[in-house]
């Protein structure tokens, strides 16, 4: 035995070499059991690279099959027909729906989904209601405009008829015919059709009173101010004062902040935060929408008042014309007679 390479030489176990001989050495090297002998033979066959005997291969295969040993990677040693990858994928596919059904996130999102649906339905209902309201107001305003035009046309026809009969009576009076009733009635009801008089000849101050009431209403709308919750004047109907901290009190008629003359005010506006700018923008939009609502309300009220005033004016002029026509043609004359109004 040579050790010039510096490496130990490992010799195979020599017990199996003497196992089948009848020498005294073989008696000393006898195996304690059959399993120990087979283990030695298996070690020798692996060392020399020779195949195992057939009976040892069959026995080892029979011993390993019922054991159902598993590899270190925890993959079952099954037949090649079944792929562990496909099996794991199938297991994952069946497990995913169960995980999704049992997930607390999905169960927690169901109430939020219901709340979002209710909010969406509520917003849609409010949008439709506002749209119907706008359409209804638009149709009402258009009908009022048409009514005003019709009343103005009616007034023009009544005015022409009144001027025609008043001119005829004036011609009679110029001819020294003063004892007829129509001359006295004309002096009572007035010569000019544009004069707003009643049947007794008294001037009506309805238009002046209506004008004064409109001015008062506009003043009330201008003086009305709605304080914010954080304002010191919240809860009072007083006009904006120096103590008022509302954004609306800091804005001009155009809905913008006035020009700051001092350096401190200018610096405050420049360094104003994003939340402050957003608050100012919302307040400006709120004031603009409020002015628009008030303007539309005023237009609607004025249109309704105009219809009422025009109807009363036409009724007064019709009554004056009826008195004048009755004095000319007699009490049997009627305004429906084309000869009386032509």
> Under 8 Å CB-to-CB from 319, ≥6 apart: which residues?
198, 199
Q: Which residue has better confidence, 326 or 330?
A: 326
Averaged pLDDT score across all residues of the chain: 69
pLDDT band at residue 272 using 50, 70 and 90 as cut-offs: confident
Q: Which region among 77-91, 119-133, 221-235 has the lowest average model confidence (pLDDT)?
A: 77-91
Residue 226 pLDDT? 59
pLDDT band at residue 154 using 50, 70 and 90 as cut-offs: very high
Q: Does 131 score more than 50 pLDDT? A: yes
pLDDT band at residue 151 using 50, 70 and 90 as cut-offs: very high
pLDDT band at residue 90 using 50, 70 and 90 as cut-offs: very low
Q: Which residue has better confidence, 303 or 2?
A: 303
Residue 158's closest CA among 332, 27, 315?
Answer: 315
Q: Does 130 score more than 80 pLDDT? A: yes
Residue boundaries of the structural domains of the chain: 145-196+277-330
Residue 185 pLDDT? 78
Residue 41's closest CA among 15, 7, 66, 62?
Answer: 15
Q: Does 105 score more than 80 pLDDT? A: no
Residue 297 pLDDT? 92
DSSP for 234-287?
TT--PPP-TT---TGGGS-TTSSPPPP-SHHHHHHHHT--HHHHHHHHHHHHHH
Residue 141 pLDDT? 92
Q: Does 111 score more than 90 pLDDT? A: no
CA distance 37 to 20: 11
Q: Which residue has better confidence, 136 or 224?
A: 136
- Ranked by mean pLDDT, the top range of 23-32, 48-57, 254-263, 300-309 is 300-309
Residue 55 pLDDT? 66
Q: Which region among 73-87, 138-152, 276-290 has the lowest average model confidence (pLDDT)?
A: 73-87
pLDDT band at residue 170 using 50, 70 and 90 as cut-offs: confident
Q: Tell me, rounded to whole angstroms, the distance of Cα 254 from its chain centroid.
A: 27
Q: Does 74 score more than 50 pLDDT? A: no
CA distance 265 to 218: 33
Q: Does 30 score more than 60 pLDDT? A: yes
Return the structure tokens found at 199. Answer: 């049947």
Measure the CA dihedral 292/295/301/305, to 10°: -160
Residue 217 pLDDT? 45
Q: Does 102 score more than 50 pLDDT? A: no
Give the pLDDT mean for 22-47: 69
> Under 8 Å CB-to-CB from 256, ≥6 apart: which residues?
284
Give the pLDDT mean for 81-106: 47
Residue 262 pLDDT? 44
Residue 172 pLDDT? 81
Contact 327, 181 (CB under 8 A): yes
Residue 1 pLDDT? 47
Return the structure tokens found at 192. Answer: 């000019």
């Amino acid at each position: 035995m040579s050790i010039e390479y510096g490496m130990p030489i490992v010799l195979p176990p020599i017990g199996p070499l003497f196992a089948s001989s009848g020498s005294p050495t073989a008696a000393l090297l006898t195996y304690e059991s059959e399993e120990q002998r087979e283990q030695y033979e298996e070690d020798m066959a692996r060392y020399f690279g020779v195949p195992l005997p057939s009976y040892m291969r069959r026995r080892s295969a029979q011993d390993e099959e019922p054991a159902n040993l598993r590899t270190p990677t925890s993959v079952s040693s099954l037949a090649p027909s079944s792929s562990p990858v496909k099996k794991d994928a199938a297991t994952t596919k069946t497990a995913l729906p169960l995980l999704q059904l049992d997930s607390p996130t999905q169960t927690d999102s169901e109430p939020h989904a219901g709340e979002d649906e209710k909010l969406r339905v509520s917003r849609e209902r409010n949008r439709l209601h506002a749209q119907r309201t706008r359409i209804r107001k638009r149709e009402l305003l258009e009908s009022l405009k048409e009514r005003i035009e019709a009343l103005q046309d009616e007034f023009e026809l009544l005015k022409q008829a009144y001027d025609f009969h008043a001119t005829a009576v004036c011609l009679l009076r110029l001819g020294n015919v003063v004892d007829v009733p129509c001359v006295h009635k004309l002096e009572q009801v007035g010569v000019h059709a544009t004069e707003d008089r009643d049947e007794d000849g008294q001037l009506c101050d309805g238009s002046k009173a209506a004008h004064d009431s409109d001015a008062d209403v506009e003043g009330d709308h201008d003086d009305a101010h709605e304080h914010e919750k954080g304002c010191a004047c919240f809860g009072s109907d007083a006009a904006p004062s120096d103590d008022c901290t509302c954004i609306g009190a800091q804005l001009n008629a155009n809905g913008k902040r006035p020009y700051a003359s001092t350096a401190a005010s200018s610096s405050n506006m420049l360094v104003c935060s994003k939340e402050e700018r957003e608050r100012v923008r919302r307040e400006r939009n709120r004031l603009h929408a409020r002015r628009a609502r008030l303007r539309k309300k005023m237009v609607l009220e004025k249109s309704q008042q105009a219809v009422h005033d025009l109807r009363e004016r036409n009724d007064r002029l019709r009554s004056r014309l009826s008195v004048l026509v009755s004095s000319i043609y007699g009490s049997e004359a009627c305004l429906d007679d084309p000869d009386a109004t032509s």
